[in-house]
Structures are given as C-alpha cells and as structure tokens.
Structure 1
Amino acid sequence: MSLSFANEERYLLQPTKTVTLNIKPSKRTTIPKSKCFKLGEINLNHVDTSVHLGITRTTSVCETAEVNVVGNISKARRALYSLLGAGLHGHNGLDHKSMLGFYKSFVLPVLTYGIEIFTPKRTILKQLDLFQWKTIKQILLNRSLRAYPYRTFTN
C-alpha cells in the first residue's frame, strides 16, 4: 500500500529507513522469526529498535516507555540549561511567574513528548514527577535563597 502510494506521488521510499519491528505483547511470549517482509523487490530488515518522529519504539511496550522517558528527561534537562542565558538562573534573573512560564512553554512539552502512545507505569510516572519537582524547586528556591543570603527561614 505505501509503495503504491509512493509510486503515485512519484517519490522514493528509503529502504534503509523502512524496517520491520516485531512487538511482543508481553514479556513471557516469544515471537518466532516470521517471514521476510518486502517493499517492492527489496527485503526489509528486522530490527529491535526504531526511531520515528523522535519516539523510539522497541520490541516490548515496557521497554519503549522506559527508553522514551529517559530520553525525554535528558532532552528536557538540556532545554532547561539552554534557558539559563534568558534569565532562568535565579539571582538577578527573571521573576517567578516568568520563570514558570518559560518552564511550561519550553521544558514541559519536551518532557511529556510522546507519552500518550503508551500507558506509563507508576515507576515511570515517578521519574517524571521527580524531575519536574526537582526542577521547579531549583528554579524557585535558588532565586529566594540567593536574593536573601543572610536570611534564615524557620517554620
């Protein structure tokens, strides 16, 4: 079907990027080596991981979720570091409302990208939650503590 559409629209599919990925429904099941899929006259390769639109897919659903969340956290951390020059650094930086606006606009979408394609487990949600709370705490508290270095906060 995709080959006929590509021929009608007169563009070439890249056989190196077109692969097959056998997804296991659970950890206990094993997938036998199936027949070779073809794209026209070219045999497609069987792979264990494949990336499409920034989302890594693996042979198991749990592994797909773990790989994507770890990748999203590292990309969100890089996005956060790139905003330090824009005033997200605390002392002599932006006010709290602007900092949280930057976080919601630039970091949070990177952190949650592609999560809707799988059902995350509790451990994965805890990883995302921990990163988010550490980041917000760092943004808000670093500004307060640096602005008042000699003030002690008591309960």
Structure 2
Amino acid sequence: MRCKYSCQHRYNIHPQKSTLIKTERTKTNHQHHTISLGESPKQQEQQTTHLGIIRAAKYETKLNIQEHISVARRTLYTLIAVGLNGQEGLNPRTAYKIYQAYVIPRLLYGLEILPLNSTQMTELKQFHLKTLRCFQSLPIRTATAAVYMLLGALPIEAEMHKRQLSLLYSILASENTKLENLIERQMTVNAGNSDSFFSRIQEILKYYNLPTVSEFKDQLPSKMQKKKDINRTIANKWSTILQEEMKEKSTLKRCNTQMLKIHETHPVWKTLPPLTYEVKKANIKARPLTGTYLLQEHFQRFTGNT
C-alpha cells in the first residue's frame, strides 16, 4: 500500500534506507505477517534514527535521553581546548554562553516532542547542574539555586519549556489546514493524556499563567514579540522560585538574593577580567557566597573542639 501511494504521488521509498519498526504498544496474539516494500520483504528492526530522533519499539524516550546526554558530553569534551574546563579555563560567564550556544541545543534537540517522565528529566537536570557547577568550580554540596543564580542560568526544565512553547507558536502560526485540524482533534480527544504534546503544553501555559491554546491562537503575536514575552515570563517565574529557595538555605545567608535574577550574572563573575589567575581568585570569592568555604567555625563544629 505504501509503495503504491508513493508511486501515485511520484516519489520513491528506498528499500535499503527504509526501516520497519513495530510500534504496537499492547500484546496481541495476532499472527505476524510479512511486510514487503515493492517486491522486497522488510524485516522488523528494534530501533532506527529519523531526523536525529531515535524511533524504537520499546524504551524510545529512555534511549533518546541517553543518546542526547552522550552527544552533549562529547560536545563538551571537544570544547575543553578553548578553555571550557572550570578553574583553569574561561570566565564562567563566557563558558556558560558557549555552553548555551553549542551544547544545550544538542542536548535538548527534539526532546520537546517526547513525553519525558520525572526520572528522565532528573537525568537531564543532573547533567546540566553538574556542568554549571564545573564552570564555577563549586563543590557538590553547593545549593542548587546558588549554582543557577550566580550565572543567571535557567534550569533545564525551563529550557525545555522555552522550546515547547516555541514549537506551539510555530504550529499555531502555520497556515496548514491539516495542522489546524490536528490541533482541534488533539485538544478534544487527548485533553487529559500526558503523552499528548497539547496536553503537556496546556499544563505549561497554566504553570506560567499564560493564555490557553485557544486564546493564544486568537491573539497570535509576532514572532519577535512572542519570543520576548516568553523569555521574560519564564525568567521572572524562575527568578522568584530560585530566590525563595535560596532564602531557605542557611548556607546562603551571605548572598544577597534580591540582586540575583535569571539572565543577570552575579558581580563575582560579571566583573572578572579574562585572566586565568583572576578566575582562580574569583572561585575563592564564590565559596563564601555559597557557604562552601570551610571556616574555623566549621572545623570546630565537625571536630567538637571549642
């Protein structure tokens, strides 16, 4: 049938470059039939890659997460030569800009369409957090909120939300009739289905107090205005969340939380000259700010001596 359809619409399906994957999610007792592409029978495969996304019969999302983290890690390794290696390298502010431009796009490519669970998001979060901590040469015990706010960096969840909202805008701005029909169908049939993109996007819009999909479609802003509004809304939301989290941490009592915001770097990194020894000095300054510099009082507390 597929071969006949392609012939009618004047395009060819290459038999060697085509892969057959069984996507049936429920167990059935039906007899398996041989599927042919033209005169060539096709064997079922466990997985393949299409447009950079792994398509698999089982554990599709898990495989994509592992592959994307692996690609992002290899990208980081290739950037070590330009100084992306923590204490001996660049200003953390510059390192983060390079990370934003080269690593995050490869880490999150295509993941906005996949239904990620909490475990998979945790894997992405750990990689993201570990990288930002390495740029600033901060120890593992550093509060998570401080790692983000000193650089003005967004958590990986927020980076994912930006891409999902951008995809939503692209779909709504499209004049394709089939896409419009698909939106209406998905909004009606899969309203409570967590595997549906539109169900997840409704939760994201609600989380950031943004208009619903229907309201968004009726008053669609320009692309630049949309980008500006979404970035500002996400930054304000996470600035508030992380500031509140920092206030609850006793180790961050020396850090002025009111001056820390998303997209705004702390002066300890912002005023740093591009010199290696200055980076090392700034790393020491960042330790008292984050409550990770061991003082005499800490030694006394640990040893029990007065």
Range of TM-score over shorter length:
0.7 to 0.9
Counterpart of 2:280 in structure 1: which amino acid? A
Residue 92 of structure 1 and its aligned partner are, at CA, apart by 5.3
Cα separation, 1, equivalents of 2:283 and 2:113: 48
- The corresponding residue for 2:110 is 114
- The corresponding residue for 1:30 is 27
Q: 2:44 aligns with which of 36, 43, 46?
A: 46
Q: 1:68 to 1:127 in 2, by over 3 A?
A: same
- The corresponding residue for 2:83 is 87
Alignment root-mean-square deviation, CA: 2.8
- The corresponding residue for 1:71 is 67
Q: Within 5 A, what are the aligned runs for 1:116-155?
A: 116-141=112-137, 147-148=280-281, 151=284, 153-154=287-288, 155=291
Counterpart of 1:148 in structure 2: which amino acid? K
Residue 47 of structure 1 and its aligned partner are, at CA, apart by 1.2
Q: 1:20 to 1:150 in 2, by over 3 A?
A: closer
Cα separation, 1, equivalents of 2:45 and 2:68: 22
Residue 57 of structure 1 and its aligned partner are, at CA, apart by 1.3
1:14-36 per-position Cα deviation (integer Å, ceiling 9, x unaligned): 312212211133xxx21445422
Are 1:2 and 2:135 counterparts?
no
- The corresponding residue for 2:96 is 100
Identity of aligned residues (%): 27
Q: 1:110 to 1:52 in 2, by over 3 A?
A: same
Residue 38 of structure 1 and its aligned partner are, at CA, apart by 2.3
- The corresponding residue for 2:19 is 19
Cα separation, 2, equivalents of 1:54 and 1:150: 38
Cα separation, 2, equivalents of 1:150 and 1:99: 14
Cα separation, 2, equivalents of 1:66 and 1:147: 38
Question: Retained in 2: the 8 A contact 1:90–1:146?
Answer: no
The two structures have a TM-score, normalised by structure 1, of: 0.79
5+ long unaligned stretches in structure 1:
none
Q: Counterpart of 1:120 in 2: which secondary structure?
A: coil
The two structures have a TM-score, normalised by structure 2, of: 0.42
Choose 132-141 or 34-43, whichever is displaced more. Answer: 34-43
Cα separation, 2, equivalents of 1:133 and 1:53: 28
Which structure shows the bigger proportion of residues in helix conformation? Answer: 2
Cα separation, 1, equivalents of 2:60 and 2:51: 14
Counterpart of 1:123 in structure 2: which amino acid? T
Cα separation, 2, equivalents of 1:44 and 1:127: 36
Cα separation, 1, equivalents of 2:277 and 2:124: 25
* Number of aligned residues: 146
